[in-house]
Every structure is written in structure tokens, then in C-alpha cells.
Structure 1
């Protein structure tokens, strides 16, 4: 996989996995556009990787249009688009309408809106690569957070649909589904942090390395935590037993004061 000179856009690249991706792909010679709602962070990371900062909200119609237009103006063409930005908001049935709306916008619709603007051009120009950073929650579930679970399932489903629909027409799609990652989101997860770290919490750099390997292998599902594949298969084969096991985990969370 030769990334020398390729034009890459990464959303949510001011921190965590996005920042690690920017460093990893810049090291391969890619020309990186760094996007984040945190303008200072986007500018800082762009400076670190000799990239180009385009701060803004890539989840909105206007924001993603501005990002793609600006990135094309700088790069000439977008070869790889990392729809990496994500949020974890709201808990339990008490999650507000605003929480649901934000989760849907950032975790699901941001991918749809970007693909609408990228895929037609790729079909004409000979191809491109679309990478969705979803979550193992999109394959399994996330206890405590229906907003995160539902919207990450939506992200996985959209990535799969995109791959099936355009995979034979030059558009390569990858879907990254990590479990616990050493980011601010994990630190802010409260009583759920231990559960998310049950299998080793990886560094963002380790996730970025897994992404590199998965892209090189042509894998649709990129699982930085390989054990997620076993959980996913077990869930599909024995859904009742899977839910029983998850309810036990939920009981432990309830006893720790995290009931929702």
C-alpha cells in the first residue's frame, strides 16, 4: 500500500485515534488534512505532521462541504477519507433529545454526508478509500449508552452498505471497530472504564498501526482487539446466551452505582 503523496483527510484528528492516524500516515509520506472542531488542536497536529489544518464541524451539511472543498483545493484530490470523529453523549433512557440528535449527527450522519460528496467523484476518477471509525459497540453493544450503541451500529451498517454497493466500482471501504482505547473518552466513562478495559486498552498509536495493517490486507472490518471477532461470532450464533452474559455485566455495573 503506497501512500507516498496520497491526499488524506482525517476528521476528529486533533486528539486520540485521529491524531495517531495523522502521525502514522504522514510518516508514510501522505499529505494529511487535519480536521477537528477543536481548532487549536487541529492546528497543533497539522504542525506536528507538516499537514494542513481545516478546523470545523464535519458532521453538518455545511461543515463537511467546506471541509471537502477546502481539502480538494489544497490536495488536488482526496484519495482517502477517514470519517473518524465521534462522540459519546447521553446515558440510559434519560438521554435527552439533544443527546440523541448529536450522537446521530456525529456518529452516523457525518459518514453519510461525506460519502455523498466523495463517492460520485471517485466513481468518475477511478476510485478512493473511505474509512469509518466505528466501535466494537457497533458490533456488540455499549452498556449504559443507547445513544452510542445505536449510532455506532448505524455507522457499521452504513459502511457495510457502502462497501457492498460500490466495492466493485473502485471504492474501498474499511470499518474500524476498537474496544477500549486510551483516550479522553475512556477516561470519562466512569464505572464503565473497567469493563471497557477488560481486554487490554490499546494506545491510539496501536490502533493506528492496526488500521495500517487492515488497509494493506484489504480488510473491511479492522479489529484492533482481535477478541472482538470471537464476541461478534458468539453473539450471532448464541444471542440468548450472549445477552445473559451481558446482563451479568450490567448487574455488576448496577451494583457499582452505574444503573440507567
Structure 2
């Protein structure tokens, strides 16, 4: 399925994006990678023999240039994997996060995927085949305590993926959204491979394997942590009870004072 496929992958320098780049390369995919400029991105591209162009995905003009360069380098794009993301935390509640944090979350987690999809869809629709993959989060099905901008934008990312699947599925466009719980990435303070991690925190490589399996099975919702489906069902069945449970979980996590950041918070939950 992946051999020879032309893939544009964002957020490829570390974490899940890096694991996906390596897994896809091993399957014979042809890659064009992007992330913030830096030696990590250049090294990954060099190691995998991939095309590369560093951009700020909050900027529509830079996205247009990225897609154009990827199309030129690969001769077209079969699969767009929008993986880039960030989380700064908002430990004092939704209103504590400044407007620029909310805007950056919206631009990177939602609009970057939409803007790139606009540019790759015409070619895919004409061909009658293509893949749009949005790496969101289980926070888009539930809610992340301590980071409302992340949760809200990831909810929107899941909704956008649903709309794309509904509108373009009959045209041969496969749409998937990936919603992991906690993953051992630099976003949560895991800088080194093999670092000790709490139970339930997956490696990026495990997530990448889950993604490739989900794409092979043409699944829309890919859950590297299967338990997220149970959590989502409980929330849908009784929202008031779910919120009460989340409030209790927050009280327990903040019992000894507010965590400094998400890397500390996830170890308390």
C-alpha cells in the first residue's frame, strides 16, 4: 500500500512525525518533509533521502510554497499527513491563555490542515484517489486538563476530518484522524529514546505502527490507545457524570499545587 506513494508529512523532525517518516520510508514511500527550520529536520531528510522544506505552517503563503515544492519534487502528492502540533499548557484555566496561544492553536491544528488540503485535493479528486491524514489527539474526543486551547483546536481538527470524509469519500479520498492519548514525545518532556515513562504512555514508534495499520485497514478513526473509545462512549452517555469525574481528576492532579507544565501534569493523572 505504501510503496511508491508520494507523501507530504508535516512536523517530521521529532516525535510522532519522525516515527512516521521512518516507518513510511521503511515501507518504500517517497517522502517530502517539513517542520520548523533546524538541524534535526535536515538530518532526518538526509537520513531518509527525503525532500525537505522548512516552513511556518501558521502562514498560508508558506503552506502554498510548501505544497508546490512537494508536488514538484515528488511529481504529485498521494498522501498528506498533517502531524505538526504544539501544546503550551494553560494551567490556570481557559481564560489564562493569551489570544496568541489560542490563535496559534487554531492556525496550526486546524487551518494548516485545511489550507494544505485545499491545495492537494484538486489533484487527488482528478485522479480519484488520495489520503488526508490528520494527527489530532484524544483531547479532540475528550478534553485535556490544563490546556484548553489544545483541546478546543483538536476537537475542531476531528470535526474538520469528519467533514472532509463526508464530502470527499465518494470521490475516492480516504480521510483518517489519529487520536492518541499520552505519547513519549518532546511535547511532554521526553527528549531521549528509551526514557522512563508511566504506564499508558506510548512510544512514537508504537503510534506510527498503529497509524500505518489503521491506514491499511482504511479506518477513519485511528486510536493508538484503544481505551480512548471507552472514555468517549462514557462521555457521550452521560456528559454531566463525565465532567464531574474530570473535575475530580483535576482536583487530585492539583492537590499539591499547580503543575508547572504538561510534562509534570501528565504524570499526576
Instruction: State the TM-score, normalized to the length of structure 1.
Output: 0.93
2-structure distance, mates of 1:258, 1:76: 51
CA distance in 2, matches of 1:139, 1:236: 10
**2:184 alignment counterpart:** 182
Q: What SS is found at the alignment partner of 2:200? A: coil
8 Å contact kept, 1:39–1:56: no
- Alignment-derived partner of residue 169 in structure 2: 167
Q: What's the Cα RMSD here?
A: 1.5
Partner in structure 2 of residue 230 of structure 1 = 230
- Aligned residue among 158, 169, 172 for 2:160: 158
The equivalent residue for 2:103 is 101
Structure 1, unaligned stretches of length 5 or more? Answer: 189-196
Take 2:259 and 2:86, find their aligned partners in 1: how far apart are those partners?
Answer: 21
Q: Deviations over 1:90-123 (max 9, x none)?
A: 5122100111111111111111111111112211
Q: 1:169 to 1:39 in 2, by over 3 A?
A: same
| Contact 1:181/1:201, CA 8 A, preserved across alignment | yes
Matched, 1:3 2:5: no
Runs of 4+ in 1 over 6 A off after TM superposition: none
TM superposition shift of 1:136:
0.2
The residue aligned with 1:149 is 151
Q: Is the 8 A contact 1:33 1:52 kept in 2?
A: yes
Q: TM-score, with normalisation over the residues of structure 2?
A: 0.90
In the alignment, is the contact (CA less than 8 A) between 1:58 and 1:67 conserved in 2?
Answer: no
C-alpha contact 1:180 1:199 (8 A) present in aligned 2: no
Query: Residue in 1 aligned with 2:88?
Result: 89
Deviations 1:9-36 (A, max 9, x none): 1100000000000000000101111100
Work out the number of aligned pairs and report it: 251
Q: Is the 8 A contact 1:59 1:110 kept in 2?
A: yes
Residues 126 and 39 (structure 1), Cα distance of their counterparts in 2 relative to 1, 3 Å cut: farther
Q: Aligned partners of 1:182 and 1:259: how far apart in 2?
A: 18
1:193 aligns to what?
none
Per-residue deviation, residues 39-94 of structure 1 (Å, max 9, x unmatched):
32221111121211111123321111111000000000100110000011351221
Structure 1: how far apart are the matches of 2:259 and 2:185?
23
Once structures 1 and 2 are overlaid, which stretch shifts more, 204-213 or 247-256? 247-256
Q: Indicate the SS of the match to 2:254.
A: helix
Give the equivalent residue in structure 1 for 2:51. Answer: 52
Partners of 2:58 and 2:104 within 8 A in 1: no
Contact 1:80 1:131 (8 Å CA) reproduced? yes
Structure 2: runs of 5+ lacking an equivalent: 191-196, 261-269
1:258 CA displacement: 2.1
Among 116, 119, 132, the alignment partner of 1:117 is 119
1:199: how far off?
Answer: 5.4
Shift of 1:226: 0.4
DSSP 3-state at the match of 1:130: strand
Separation (CA, whole Å) in 1 of partners of 2:45 and 2:146 = 35
